[in-house]
Amino acid sequence: MKIETINLPLVVCGDIIEGKGISIFYKTRDPILLTFPTLNKSIIKKLSLAPDLCEIHIDDLIDFLTNVGDLWKNPNYDLRKESIYLQSKITGYTVPHIEFDYKTICATLTHKVLSEMIESEIGDKNLLEEWKINKYVEIRAFPRGKVLHILAGNVPAVGIVSLIRGILSKNSNILKLPSGNPVSTLYFVLSFRDVDKFHPVTRSVSALYWRHGDKVEDFLYKLSNAVCVWGRYDAVFSVRRKTFPGQAILEYGPKYSMHIIDKKTLSDEEALRKVALNAAHDIVLHEQNACFSPWIIFVEGDGEKFCEMLGEALDEEDKRFPKALPSLDKIAEIAEVRNICTLLGDKVYRSSGAKWTVILTRNPNRMILNPLSRTVFVVPINKLEDAIDYVDSKVMAVGFSSNEGIERLKNKLSAKGVERISYIGKLSYPPIGFTSSWEYPITRLVRLVTRDLSISDLKRVKSLKNVEKLMYGVKSHHIRFM
């Protein structure tokens, strides 16, 4: 069997480093071998000299990212074409899936959207440029310095999103490319050179690959002021063991999502068919590998009609986002789950082959069997509130079929640890202002510094009497104020 070999570079402070020293083999139906240069002492030393972007105006950073987005909007852009080709070979995603992610990223890379991203998180993007008065202090946001991103390969856009946040917070960024998909983020970083190879953003970013446990990790953790980690629990625990007091740790560990359909929707055939189509869209995107992918659907009432409609909708959605042919191991896993659930008395709806599986069950705990790959469990419940018992902090998002359902459950779901409450069909489209792991990432990637205002400052900017008492709660005779 012929194995295609592709030699990929690394990027160190904007410079391309080539060579062969480390490889990743993808045992797909068309096997492929990716090779990278080995990190050495000169490369590591250079990383310590990477500047942050503190002195670059935020509008200049946004303009740079907008120019990068303009490149990727062009379907004939060389790096885009090569990136899509390689990812379709190594990830198990078909071309329409990968193009969907690039369209989403390009829609983000506009001056308006990037500005709104910053403002939704820190309130005013000029906080990154100048001191602003906040009650009785001045405040300004400064970059933390160097941010190490430990990336996951489950979704092509993950690394790009993490990097955009690092740039908008004016940090220098070191990206540890994931073995599952080192291509998407690497090629995005390479495109910076096509905009301006000497731009401060280009010079502040490095995209590296090393094997887990390599000694370079210890150095990079010591070098970094913040760490963003994406992936499984073992990745998160590994980062916790290696970080130090004072380092910001942003954790994006494994999660899944769910749908909840109320009885009003269930009783309206036209509305239910639309919900089934929207549910299929959420299920199909990223083959359920994303945190916002639904694994289970609760329906308030009988679920048989919905299961039938969902099967039809999954067939329709496959025309838009064709499923790559699963591996033989995955086909066997899907067949095993189908057989087990049938023997346990569940009703299994299935496509021909292994394209999709819908399992109607009374036992929500069956979900632990989920092989993903367009497999979903549908659980009938007597009332919407019954779903609450099966929600915890591992649930990232809950998509509802109606506003009424959201209003009934939003407070209870929030108390159980859900991050985001949305609509069926919208889970893959988080709006500006959404949180990640219950927080705003850009806020975590900056240092908010305050300077106490003097009495004279306050009297100049505020028409206030008894300023000392308002500031400190008491008249502070023992402190001499300027």
For 190-242, write each residue's pLDDT tens digit.
999 999 999 999 999 999 999 988 888 889 999 999 999 999 888 899 889 98
Output the pLDDT for position 333. Answer: 96
Residue ranges per domain, the chain?
4-252, 256-423
Average pLDDT over residues 241-268: 94
Half-sphere exposure of 97 (CA within 13 A, CB side): 28
Please report the pLDDT score of residue 448 as a whole number: 97
Res 427 pLDDT > 50: yes
Q: Region 126-131: what's the mean pLDDT?
A: 96
- Cβ count within 10 A of residue 134: 14
Confidence of residue 481 (pLDDT cuts 50, 70, 90): very low
| Rounded Cα–Cα distance for residues 374 and 370 (Å) | 9
Residue 478 pLDDT more than 80? no
Query: pTM here?
Result: 0.93
Query: Of all residues in the chain, what percent carry a pLDDT higher than 70?
Result: 95
Q: What is the pLDDT of residue 475?
A: 53
Q: What per-residue confidence (pLDDT) applies to 369?
A: 94
What mean pLDDT is reported for the chain? 93
Architecture of domain 256-423: 3-Layer(aba) Sandwich (3.40)
Q: Which of 290, 218, 293, 210 is nearest to 252 (CA)?
A: 290
Instruction: Let me know: does 34 contact 60? Beta carbons within 8 Å.
Output: no
Burial string for 228-253 (b: 16+ CB within 10 Å, else e) reads bbbbeeebbebbeebbeeebbebbbb
Is the pLDDT at 479 greater than 50? The verdict is no
> What's residue 480's pLDDT?
45
The first and second tokens of residue 436, run together, are 């990640």
pLDDT digits (tens, 9 = 90+) for 73-124: 999 999 999 999 999 999 989 999 999 999 999 999 999 999 999 999 999 9
CB 143 within 8 A of CB 447: yes
Mean pLDDT in residue range 415-438: 96
The CATH superfamily assigned to 4-252 is Aldehyde Dehydrogenase; Chain A, domain 1 (3.40.605.10)
| pLDDT band (50, 70, 90) for residue 454 | confident
Question: In degrees rounded to 5, what are phi and psi of residue 254?
Answer: -70, 130
Cα 388 from Cα 386, distance rounded (Å):
5
* pLDDT confidence of residue 482: 42
Domains 4-252 and 256-423 share a fold: no
Query: Is residue 75 within 8 Å of 129, Cβ to Cβ?
Result: no
- Say if residues 16 and 138 touch (Cβ distance below 8 Å): no
Q: What pLDDT, on a 0 to 100 scale, did the predictor assign at position 470? A: 54
Structure confidence by residue, pLDDT tens digits, 138-176: 999 999 999 999 999 999 999 999 999 999 999 999 999
Average pLDDT over residues 314-340: 94
